[in-house]
Amino acid sequence: MPKDWQRLAIIVLGILLGVVVSAFTTVYISDRNKINHITQYQYDFMASYGNKPPQEQLAILANIFRTQGVILELDEGDDGRKLFFNSLRTWEDQKALFVYPDSVLNGNPQLQENLVVVIQGIYFPLTMRVLKLITIMHYKIIHWQLNTMRRTLRCIMKEH
């Protein structure tokens, strides 16, 4: 027969396990709901194209970038960038999300915040990708130049 301290330890461990499972389930369900929110934001953004002012489109896009999961990897940044580049195909459409008169921008802190969120969501990951690509291209050019120089030196050495 278990002693009192063993019985108490089992009860405490059971309660702790229940709390952990409950917390995990709650966070998981919350993340699943966030996926639904992102999907709804995508539909809203596509439906707003040409029908709503750029401020509203910007707000929808900012909401996508703001939605982050705790357990699930939501790829909200990729979703937001794909939506921006695939739905707004022309330079004019893309630019319209970011160009506002100072009178509108200064009087609207939510618009200012949305601009920051969307610019960070679009600009920073692209900058990192471009930097990686430039590094790779730079390496390839240097590598090619070194190989060319080696071949040239070999030819010169063979002649002498």
Q: How far is CA 152 from CA 22, 138, 142, 149, 158, in A?
A: 70, 21, 15, 5, 10
pLDDT tens track for 20-66: 877 777 766 666 676 777 778 888 888 877 778 888 889 888 988 88
pTM of the model: 0.60
Question: What value does the mean pLDDT of the chain take?
Answer: 79
Residue 23's Cα: distance from chain center in Å? 26
pLDDT at 113: 92
With contact defined as beta carbons under 8 Å apart, do 77 and 125 qualify?
Answer: yes
Q: Which residue has the tokens 């330079």?
A: 91
**Closest listed residue to residue 58, CA positions, set 125, 4, 111, 126:** 111
Tokens representing 143 are 């590598």
